[in-house]
Amino acid sequence: MATSRAPLRFVEAVSATVSEHRRSGFFFDFDGTIAPIMRDPAAVFPVAGAVERLRVLAGLVSRVAVVSARPAAFLSDRFAGAPEVRLFGLYGMQTVVDGRVRTDAAAQPWAPVMGRLVADAARELPGEVLVEDKALLVALHYRAVPSLRGAVERWASEKAAELGLREQYGRMVVELRPPVELDKGTVIERETETLTRAWYFGDDLSDGRAFDALRGREERDPAFLGVKVAVANGETGDELARRADFTVESPEATPDLLDHVIGAFPGHPSARTLDK
């Protein structure tokens, strides 16, 4: 039977994490969480201080990772200064191991299908739609013209049914990807198996699966603590925030919250009062 947990206080979550730091982990979405949302996806970089905070955390806890819809090679470039941070791209279809990108064997055969889909999208969708080719994932961005949402979603649904693909809706974007059993939730389930504390930071609908994974683990293991942090935005409503333990007002505020966590570790020079 599922059990409900009493509301979690930030100071308690941090204290519990510090006390079990060797079996704790921090996991982050990228866009909208530790990086801004922009019309040009290629122009996005982590917000000031984010990479440094993740690098410090990686020296304090068992595991720090970024779990994103971005290609793993893109993440590798953006986190070149923090090699200790694990990187999972394309919802876990790609990982970075020893500096090299590895692709899931079940997803790789779908590359030709996704390549044809890119060509179809460029030919059939309005020119204002940005078609982002991620090799094993095609993202259809309608941020420049929000009124095209219906047309993009209808087109994506038809293609998904025709080709046997999966749809993922997000912030002014629809993504199409192979029908493999990988998403942010499956990554979190696997990566937290040996942990007793795990934090996940996200801002979009796909991050709800990671939240579900943490909650499911708590229901199976009363000794496990999953901390869900939602980064607020006006594009996906408050659905994710309602399921979170804590909210952050913007990606730029995420490093500040991490400063409070880092500062709670004994002897750390940035220690500060947490109970606010």
Answer yes or no: is pLDDT of 5 > 90: no
Phi and psi at residue 171, in whole multiples of 5°? -75, 100
* Helical axes 207-220 vs 184-191, angle rounded to 10°: 40
What pLDDT, on the 0 to 100 scale, is given for residue 274? Answer: 36
Q: How confident is the model at residue 273 (pLDDT cuts 50, 70, 90)?
A: very low
Backbone angles phi, psi at 261, to 5 degrees: -65, -50
The long-range contacts involving 2-11, CB below 8 angstroms and separated by at least 24 positions, are 2/219, 3/219, 3/222, 5/218, 7/245, 8/227, 8/245, 8/246, 10/246, 10/260, 10/274, 11/274, 11/275, 11/276
Q: 222: buried, middle or exposed (CB in 10 Å: 19+, 13-18, 0-12)?
A: exposed
According to CATH, what is the number of the domain 108-177?
3.30.70.1020
Arithmetic mean of pLDDT over the chain: 92
Contact 40, 139 (CB under 8 A): no
Of 29, 31, 183, 207, the active-site residue reads: 29
Q: What is the pLDDT of residues 10-51, one digit of tens each?
A: 999 999 999 999 999 999 999 999 999 998 999 999 999 999
Residue 116's φ and ψ, nearest 5 degrees, are -65, -35
Query: SS3 of 134, please?
Result: coil
Q: How many CA atoms lie within 13 A of 109 on its CB side?
A: 4
Domain 10-103+182-263 has CATH 3.40.50.2020: no
The model's confidence at residue 238, banded by pLDDT at 50, 70 and 90, is: confident
The type of residue at 66 is: V
Q: Which helix or strand (DSSP H or E) is residue 64 part of?
A: strand 63-67
The full DSSP string for 226-258 is EEEEEE--SSSTTHHHHT-SEEESSGGGHHHHH
Q: Which residue has the tokens 């259809």?
A: 140
Q: What totals of helices (H) and strands (E) does the chain contain, helices first?
A: 9, 12
DSSP category for residue 110 = G
Q: What is the pLDDT of residue 269?
A: 59
One-letter amino acid of 197? R
| Section 259-273 average pLDDT | 76
Give whole-number Cα distances, 179 to 47, 151, 225, 261, in Å. Answer: 32, 23, 31, 37
Is the backbone of residue 158 left (phi > 0), alpha (psi -120 to 50) or beta? alpha
- Give a three-class secondary structure readout of 206-231: CHHHHHHHHHHHHHHCCCCEEEEEEE
Q: How many whole angstroms separate alpha carbon 109 and alpha carbon 178?
A: 9
Q: Please tell me the pTM assigned to this model.
A: 0.92
How would residue 78 be classed by pLDDT, with cut points 50, 70 and 90?
Answer: very high
State the Cα–Cα distance between residues 6 and 27, nearest whole angstrom. 23
The pair of three-digit structure tokens given for residue 146, joined into one six-digit string? 């929000």
Q: Where are the domains of the chain?
A: 10-103+182-263, 108-177
Task: Give the chain's end-to-end CA distance (angstroms, integer).
Answer: 34
pLDDT of residue 276: 38
- 29 assigned to active site: yes
